[in-house]
Structure 1
């Protein structure tokens, strides 16, 4: 029973890791891994001294902070609210409604954003015109780019993120709530002293895993939203790897960029895990 899963990780996860070797080579497709010349850390030095490095790091870092600050807590809050709903039909209806956006592709999500924020017939600008305001070119604006991108993530993934937290809440012993009610605790105190401590370990583990993907801004969404007017605040490591590796054919250089991102993610996971253990949590290993 384990064999299909093991084969999947071996073929699609571990074997491709040998590809990071080309980050230390001047890789030529026709010469292959063993025929290409070794250059050591040349591509890393080129990347770190490139003027684009700090722009990419700043943009990726800010988007990551936006996601952790504004997106990560929302599934927890919604899970707590749904846990307090006593009407089972209404609870299931809301769950289904907020799960659906997860199955919508980023192409459709960005298309919906264009319908809302376009200057020509966009719903938001039409409303602004109706109250005498000047239209705002949200899609080309540097100031609005991060807000729109983060809002898209919130709308698409918040509902799906509640699944794990609701599963954790289902495991809370109902007798704890009964004992709290007997002691005179209201709904708020029950939530604060029973519900939140019960899912604290789940929150910590998911936060550690989220930190591990700190520099993963998501290629498809950003690629579809970036344009020449907002590229200075929208270009991130993922889109940079695509533009240099695929469109320009710099395979070794783009692999070095991707490897840097992965190493940073690994360091952050190890650090966050040690910090969690220092505060008495289990961590992920």
Structure 2
């Protein structure tokens, strides 16, 4: 008796499918509406962000409006050297860094704290009411905010002027006292922008897996432990990205707020790079010199962004690139 062994034929080998590559015309046609929606944003950046870079070359020239950019004399790094050797440079740098540091180390963490507190509210109507109240100040202009500050701290009849002087036992003019300039700037910044800054953190908190909280509750973790070991680590990447962007803006203290709050009596602590560019460039007509100051500030901000991003990578945190 003979046994027949049947050979099972192997399935035909499939060749790897070639990637479906569209030509650029097909890609543009497929995403035409998305590209159409992007056009206003692209136009904005091209007109107001990239095209003005052409005029940045006047920082290396003795710019004369009647001669134009190309006709003005090329002086190289002279304006930068004049700026860094200016006796006002140390004072401007110190004032700018102190105000920026207050915003970075006090106002920024308060935004995170407020987002965590709002996230812990369980009554929806209370949560929405509080959110609305803390968002409203963001929509007020700095002119309105400074005007309100002037009314609150007006000498003689301002409610905050009366309260603080009664508590301190003094007769201080807070709006003109150099020692009170930075605290007032910080209070305005916190009141105006802290609530609005919580939006991004609340969006990040909404994506936290709720099963982690349930498991932590079963394990006996309290509310503070859940915040410490679940909530904060879950939004750490968002915190790092915003911190990097905030660091890049460390020399941009905000022209409007500082300019409106400054006066002849507090000018020693109120002068920052932004107001200095305005006074030298617009009021004194030193266009090339003020452009050099602004360009130096922008380069420092770019270096800080790359440096902070590098540090974040070194500590195994997500960067922005």
- Is TM > 0.5 for Structure 1 vs Structure 2? yes
Trace 1:23-38 onto structure 2 (pairs within 5 A): 23-38=59-74
- Worse-superposed segment, 213-222 or 183-192: 183-192
The structure-2 alpha-carbon separation of the partners of 1:6 and 1:40, relative to structure 1 and needing over 3 Å to count, comes to same
Q: Offset at 1:282?
A: 1.7
1:238 aligns to 2:287 (yes or no): no
Native 8 Å contact 1:128 1:135 kept in 2: no
How far apart in 2 are the matches of 1:129 and 1:99? 30
How far apart in 2 are the matches of 1:273 and 1:238? 25
Native 8 Å contact 2:165 2:172 kept in 1: no
Q: Offset at 1:70?
A: 1.1
The structure-2 alpha-carbon separation of the partners of 1:231 and 1:32, relative to structure 1 and needing over 3 Å to count, comes to same
How far apart in 1 are the matches of 2:126 and 2:270? 39
Q: Offset at 1:131?
A: 6.9
Pairing partner for 1:195 from 212, 220, 231: 231
Pairing partner for 2:292 from 229, 238, 256: 256
Match of 1:137 in 2: 173
Aligned to 2:175, the other structure's residue is in SS state: helix
Aligned residues: 285
Match of 2:19 in 1: none
Aligned to 1:253, the other structure's residue is in SS state: helix
Pairing partner for 2:96 from 45, 49, 60: 60
Q: Offset at 1:125?
A: 2.6
User: What TM-score comes out, normalization by structure 2 length?
Assistant: 0.87
Question: Which structure shows the higher helix fraction?
Answer: 1
1:44 aligns to 2:44 (yes or no): no
How far apart in 2 are the matches of 1:172 and 1:282? 17
Match of 2:158 in 1: 122
Q: Offset at 1:45?
A: 0.8
How far apart in 2 are the matches of 1:245 and 1:130? 43
Match of 2:189 in 1: 153
Aligned to 1:185, the other structure's residue is in SS state: coil
Pairing partner for 1:164 from 195, 200, 205: 200
The structure-2 alpha-carbon separation of the partners of 1:28 and 1:75, relative to structure 1 and needing over 3 Å to count, comes to same
User: What TM-score comes out, normalization by structure 1 length?
Assistant: 0.97
Match of 1:110 in 2: 146
Q: Offset at 1:17?
A: 1.3
Native 8 Å contact 1:101 1:157 kept in 2: yes
Give the number of the structure whose alpha-carbon radius of gyration is greater.
Answer: 2
